[in-house]
Amino acid sequence: MIWWRRVDDGRVRCDLCPRGCTLREGQRGFCDEDFYRKICLAELAPVLDMLRYIRHETTVWLEVTNLLIPGHNDAPEQVARLCAWFVENLGPDVPLHFSAFHPAYRMLDVPPTPAATLIRAREQALAAGLRYVYTGNIHNPEGEATYCATCGGLLIERDWYRLGRWNLDRQGRCKQCGAALPGRFEPQPGRWRRRVAPVEIHG
């Protein structure tokens, strides 16, 4: 299946985008195959195909993480395109995680993702209709928690790796309104917390 085609003025049209947007040279992000080729050394179309296959053709629980890299795929319009495709193709109940980039390896010249960028992306995704959106690689308890999509109550409180309040019954339903939380849950929460472990490095 062909996802991309060039239009008369040299721009690229993304057939996945519900807005039928076209991209100019130098634009990057969710609708730009060059971003994935240059930064990820991969093609976007097979990734999208696999996400849709997992969501609609298997019983595997699916969650998606999107690394927001400053100056590459963090612009509001790029996040908007991602969210539009996500809702249309995967549905509102698949969790989406916006994760912060930290300089490493061949991208030491790119700054870390500001917390405000991830918080804004999360707000965009919620406004677009996604129900379970999280921030990662930053300390943001509100963006780490899970809330009931029906009554808005706090279901799972998280603070880094520490679990706090757990307001699900043994069947994975909200204790306030009885709505089921999509996912796979044990009857009782685990004892997740920060742990310090010794590490030995041998030269």
Asked whether the whole model's pTM tops 0.85, one would answer no
Please, which pLDDT band fits residue 14 given cuts at 50, 70 and 90? low
Mean pLDDT of 19-48: 64
- The 3-state secondary structure of the chain, one letter per residue: CCCEEECCCCCEEECCCCCCCEECCCCCCCCCHHHHHHCCCCCHHHHHHHHHHHHHHCCCCCCEEEEECCCCCCCHHHHHHHHHHHHHHCCCCCCEEEEECCCCCCCCCCCCCCHHHHHHHHHHHHHCCCCCEEEECCCCHHHHCEECCCCCCEEEEEECCEEEEECECCCCEECCCCCECCCCCCCCCCCCCCCCCCCCCCC
Among positive and negative, which fits the CA dihedral 39, 53, 92, 14? positive
Topology given in CATH for the domain delimited by 12-144 = TIM Barrel (3.20.20)
Please, which pLDDT band fits residue 187 given cuts at 50, 70 and 90? confident
In 3D, which of 128, 65, 127, 133 has the Cα closest to residue 101? 65
Q: Would you state the pLDDT for residue 22?
A: 46
Tokens of 88: 């249309």
Please, which pLDDT band fits residue 23 given cuts at 50, 70 and 90? very low
Which of 20-34, 54-68, 188-202 is predicted with the least confidence, judged by mean pLDDT?
Answer: 20-34
Tokens of 132: 């379970």
Q: Would you state the pLDDT for residue 11?
A: 52
